[in-house]
Structure 1
Amino acid sequence: MNLTRFSSFFLSLLSISMLVSAGCNNLSGDAPNPQPGQRITVTGTVVDTDGHPIAQVLVMPEPADDKSGPIPEIAVYTDAEGRFSWTVPPGTYDFVFRKPGYALHKERVQAIPGKQAPHLRVQLKPN
């Protein structure tokens, strides 16, 4: 590969990397992404029907107002104590909880600037 082709390839990779790290969920040119201070942290604990924490539950917020699907970020899983934390822009979300062997569960959350998001306590039921 000659130096010119390598430079073009490297610049392309760098551009893609910058888009991903900047959060490329708004490539349409609409309103810019909210500033960090405008994001709300939703926390919670996932337990089974006996109240024991469940580790490795997939937690995904889906914007209720936007049917385009989940927020395109890295998946969040509950820790060994069943806890999770996810920071989202203001809006209404259906937080989806998935774990093999358990029924899918959704919780509606409103993330309002200046108001503390509720701490969720989610109980998953076995299939």
Structure 2
Amino acid sequence: MRILGLDYGDRKIGVAVSDAFGWTAQGLEVIVRTSEEKVLKRLETIVKDHEVEAIVLGLPKNMNGTVGPRGEISISFAETLRQSLGLPVHLWDERLSTVSAERTLLEADVSRKKRRQVVDKMAATIILQTYLDYQSRR
């Protein structure tokens, strides 16, 4: 069962997909948000092409665990995905996923320009991988 991981940002959406066994996450692409219609159409294509059966959407929480305005936007987007794609959408705590992605890219000595291009995809990969790891331990 393949699972799609999403890092939903103001301007970009990082996309990752699991392998068929649900063991590992691989970064797929970054979708630039121009309109919700185009985003949903692209996600629908990805879901079909990769035979995705579920979606994990990063839920940005405050450090104290509460959900702020950004989290509310993600919750709303999760509902839009459920209705549009007809798939289960799991909200997953994404605190520090982008920070972790940035740190990994810095340690790999990736240039600032390239980091900007891949950080969202890498954050989606981290979100999805932590979800997969959690599921495998259950």
TM-score in same-fold range (> 0.5): no
More helix by share: 2
Normalized against structure 2, the TM-score is what? 0.28
More strand by share: 1
Q: TM-score with structure 1 length normalisation?
A: 0.30
